[in-house]
Structures are given as structure tokens and as C-alpha cells.
Structure 1
Amino acid sequence: MSASFRKIDYSLRPAKYAERKMFVEILRRLAAFQPVEDYAYIGFGSGWVSDFTLFHRALGIKSMVSIEQAVDARERIEANKPFQIRVEYDNSSSALPRMEWDRRVIVWLDYDGPLNTSMLEDVRTVAARCLSGSVIAVSVQCMRAPEYTAYELEKATDENAIGAIERFIGAFGRQRVPPEASDEDLISWPYGKLARHMLRSEIDSALANRNTGGDNPLSFLPICEIEYQDDARMTTLIGLVADAADNQRYPLCGFDRLDFMPAPGQPIRIDMPKLTIRELRYLEQQLPLGDNEVSFGAIPTSDANKFIRMYRYFPNFAVMEA
């Protein structure tokens, strides 16, 4: 959505690539609702539209809309997009209400900044409009809350500075922040967990409003939560909106049988192993796992196990040398 493509080559973020591949495997299982190629996809393609390219090639999705607020980059984006992707040149808060909501959609609000109130409003907009059987995914950065940074700067000169969590509550409203949240929840993976909780609460609240007076209530069924780090630490919440009838289809998807799913209640942590090309090939020759144990050779055990656990989703980079 933002002009971050000017700073980040999204095609060279291996953990992000792995997340996209996992998302593809999740979306393949939507056949219990309808063929996935009949869904529409709404996302923030930026200049790279990497997720759009992958979802079209791997899943056959044809109806695709990218929201892009960098209006001044329009000529470059139009020249680089690989398929017939409709681009809405506007900010998400204005563009999302204009989307067509008369079919099931896959919406990935893939932000590159930390959680803020406008993101929560975007999530509410989607949850308030999407049909049963639609998928909502939201990604946010979780390095450090801006409110924590502001507190750290001020306390250096003012011992009576307002605490970080108090600033956070002031920014989001007390009703959105769990009462047990503390300053420690505004940094790193605890911050990611807090962000996911707040995103899910916003979706639940929007659906509760829709359900008022209705006889076919909608609910948000979580599929998974993801944590990863390329440069910044990021977290993603993925779930499905379903009415009472479609609730019965959810177990048929078999999301829990995907090989990257962790123990219940735990997020997927994408840890990229640091391996040479020769080491990658050595391990791959022994996979998939059979009756024999894998030989690691000189490869560090932790890196080898990271690769074995998620090797199907990691990118393959070929280096050509003269």
C-alpha cells in the first residue's frame, strides 16, 4: 500500500517469501467453501505485487485489486504489474469501503508499520462487509510501539514522564487494550501478541455489530498466527469469517493438518537457517524424511532442524558466478 517498494526489495525477503508460500497452502484448503480460484483477492501490492503474482500462478485467482497510496508512482506501478491487476490509487481507509463485497474475498492487509488506529478501522471495515467464507489476514510490524519509544525519550529528561502503556492506552482507547497489558508488552514478540489480540478483538467487535438482530450470526475462526523477521520483526493474524452454516465447513478444510502448524495456541515462528548452497543441497538430498535419520555432517543442528521443519516453503536462490 505504501511506497515502501522504493526502500525494500520484497522479492529478497526470505522469511516473507516463506510466509506467502504458507498462505498459499492455507488458501488451497478453502475448497470446502468454494473453488479458491473463484475468490477475489484484495491486498497491498506495492511496486512488486509479489503476493498477487504468486496467488494468480499458484491458485488461479483472477479477480485481484491492489490498494496503493503512492499516487506519484502510478506510471511505474502500471508499467511493472505482470497481470491484469486493478490498482486503486488511494489510501486504504478510503479505498476499502469502495470495494465490491458481493462475493467471497481474501483480504491481506499487509502493513509494514506498527499497529495504529487507522489499521484497526481498516480491519473493522473489512469485517463489517465481507461475506461468510471470506479470509482476513493482517500483518503489522512489532519491533517496538511508538508510544514506548516516546516514553524512553522523555524519561531521559523527565522522571515524571507518562509511562509507555499509559501512552498506548491514550492512543488506542482503554476499551481496546487488555487490562493486563504492561510496558513489556510493547516490545518484540510480546508486542506482536498484543497486536494480534487487538486485531482479533476489532474483528469480533465488528461482527458482533453485524449480528445484532440477525438469525445467522457470523464469527471469526482463527486459522493461524505467524511471527518472522527479515529486517524488522513482523506478525500476521489469519482467520476466516463464517456464519452458522459455514461453521460446519471449517473443520473440513483441515488447516490443522498442514505440516507447518504448531501446537494449539502457539504462533508459527519462521526462523531462517543460515546455510551455504552446498549445505542446502546436502540436506535436500535426504528429504522428505523417511525411516532413516538425517545426517547433518558439519551443519549446526539448530540450522539443520530449521530447514528440515520448513524446507518446502523456503526460497531457492541461484547464484551465477563467472
Structure 2
Amino acid sequence: MASFDSINYSLRPSKSVQRGIVFHGLKALSDAMALQNSLYIGFGSIWFTDFVMAHKALEIDEMISIEANDVGFRRAEFNKVYRSISVVEGRSEDKLPELLNQGEYQARPWIVWLDYDGALDEEKVEEMRWLLLNAPPNSIVLFTFSATQNAYGKPAQRPGRVADILGPVVPDELSREDCNQENLPQTLASLTMDFLSSVVADNARPGGFIRSFKIPYFDSVGMVTVGGVLPALGTAPAARAVIADHKWQGIVDEMIQAPPMTLKEVATLQAELPCLEDLTRARVQELGFDLLEHQIRSFQRYYKYLPNFAEIVS
């Protein structure tokens, strides 16, 4: 079953946080690098949530959505939210080289977000490699994949499976504990970032690869988003300065798991923010309800990225 048949991508709170962090970062990078005439490429599905953000936040007009599912392609054509979106039918590993062969796209920066449905595998890793080596200068690339532990084999098999997928960047001492349910998203995030860096370094791509996004999050299963900038030599210092700033949020040091909260709870806590001090569980209890400490910390850190929606019952 295609994911668009079971998931409304616009309503998932942890996904919304991840998406908000990504586009906040993309905006900062685009401004600092003075990117112009960028092309946005992704998997819009039938919802096009990230395409709306690319158009509004980044002011990108021309966007391309790749859709391999034949029913999904027809629905995407029907549901595309802007006339400047082109939906192409096929698999991304075939369509991305076709796009690069079109002269109008060869010299323009690409912002590519390959938001995969499934787990990391050899096919996805090869597509990452191709994009890292062939995307035009000043492109920004992002990859999202599942980190649910069952997709990587039984506990004793997981370290070997991760090594098979990512190759020499995986240390020999990778343990079963590194690959358990709790730790696997962070493990995959770190190792995949190492893989992306190594591909660019080994092939001496001018400008290199600037590690920019490492976001593990929980979205009914563990998920990972990683990515970075493939700068031209002249824009590399500006991009590195953005990532080095203490305000940069693209590198996340803990699993994002937005707490399930009612609209009343959200509104009550939101009215306490922003504040210099950390919200405490005692303060939440004073307000009339209760949350666990990690839920409070997550809300305070990411509340600006949570979705705003309500159900209207007539």
C-alpha cells in the first residue's frame, strides 16, 4: 500500500517539527548563499506539504515531484497545489539523471528532498551517492528513511546489515545495543552522515559537503532525516558560518517525539512561551494538567513547529 493511502502527511506532529526545522534551515542557507533560481525536487505525494513550504518560505516557483505509483501519479496531477509544479511519473533513480541531462537544470541549484517511505538499503544508498556526485553546485540534498529496527533484521543481524548497507564507515565494534529500538535512529543518522561526507571527500568534489541536517524523530516508527550542502567554492564560507551559528537547529541531539496533546493543553502551554527558564512539571501541574519531563522539554523546544489544526463537528 502506498503511504498516501494511509497517512495524511500534513497532520503528524513530529513530522511537522522535522519539516519546520528543515525549512527554517533551508531558508537561512538560501539567504546566506544568495541562492537564485533554485529548483525544488521531491516526493510530493498527493499532499504536497513540503512543496507549499518550499514555495512560501523559500519563494521557489519551479518544483518537480516524482511519483512512481501509477494511481499516485494521477492523484498527484489532480491535487498539485500550484501550476508551477511538474509531476513526473517514474522512479527517482531514473528521473533524476533525466533532469540533469536537461540543459535548463544543469546550472541551477537543486534543493532535493528524497523522503523515502521505507528503510535504508543498498538501492537508496546508491541514489544518495549519485546525487552527491552529480547535483549542480550550491545544491542542498536531504534524505529521509525509516529506522524501525525490524527492517534491519533480527537483533544479532542488525550490525552486519547496517555495515552491508553503508560500507566502511561502519565501525567493526558496532554493537547490538547500538542497533536496538532506542538507539538505532541515532546510530543510522550518525553513520549515514559519515557515509555522505566520505562519498564527497573520496571523490574530491569541489566545495566539499557541509553536514547540515541530522534529525532523528518518531513518527509511529523511528525515522531519520540527514543531509547537507554541496557548495560552490565561493559560497562554502557563508554556508559553514550558518551551520556553525549557535542558533542552528538542523543537528538534533535527541529523538524528536512531539507529545500528543489536546488543543487546550497546547494553548495553555503556548501562552507560557517563550521564556528564558525551562518549563517544569510542577508548573504544568499548576496550570491544571500533567506531562512527563521529556514531553515538556520537547514541547518547549519545538512548539513553533507544531501543526495548527482542529476538527469541526457539525
Under TM normalisation by the shorter chain, which class is it? 0.7 to 0.9
State how 1:139-218 maps to structure 2 within 5 Å. Answer: 139-149=144-154, 163-169=157-163, 171-172=164-165, 174-175=167-168, 177-211=170-204, 217-218=206-207
In structure 1, stretches of 5+ residues that fail to align are: 153-162
CA distance in 1, matches of 2:275, 2:152: 46
2:312 to 310, 313, 320: 320
The answer to whether structure 1 residue 279 and structure 2 residue 265 are counterparts is: yes
Q: Match for residue 311 of structure 1?
A: 303
Deviations 1:158-179 (A, max 9, x none): xxxxx4434554x437535332
Q: CA RMSD in A?
A: 2.8
State how 1:1-322 maps to structure 2 within 5 Å. Answer: 3-30=2-29, 31-35=31-35, 38-83=37-82, 84-100=84-100, 101-149=106-154, 163-169=157-163, 171-172=164-165, 174-175=167-168, 177-211=170-204, 217-253=206-242, 256-258=245-247, 260=249, 267-289=253-275, 295-296=283-284, 297-301=287-291, 302=293, 303-322=295-314
CA distance in 1, matches of 2:161, 2:173: 15
Contact 2:109 2:136 in 1 (8 A): yes
In structure 2, stretches of 5+ residues that fail to align are: 101-105
Contact 2:44 2:76 in 1 (8 A): no
CA distance in 2, matches of 1:97, 1:124: 12
Identify if the C-alpha distance between structure 1 residues 210 and 102 changes in structure 2 by more than 3 Å, giving closer, same or farther.
farther
Contact 1:96 1:125 in 2 (8 A): no
Contact 1:260 1:309 in 2 (8 A): no
SS in 1 for 2:209: strand
Q: Give % identity.
A: 29
Contact 2:214 2:250 in 1 (8 A): no
Q: Which residue identity lines up with residue 18 of structure 1 in the other structure?
A: V
Q: How many residues align?
A: 301
CA distance in 1, matches of 2:220, 2:5: 15
290-299 or 306-315, larger mean C-alpha shift: 290-299
Deviations 1:99-123 (A, max 9, x none): 2342111111111211100111111
Contact 2:189 2:216 in 1 (8 A): no
TM-score (norm 1): 0.82
Q: Match for residue 103 of structure 2?
A: none
SS in 2 for 1:270: coil
What is the Cα deviation at residue 233 of structure 1?
0.9
What is the Cα deviation at residue 244 of structure 1?
4.1
What is the Cα deviation at residue 58 of structure 1?
2.3
Contact 1:137 1:238 in 2 (8 A): yes
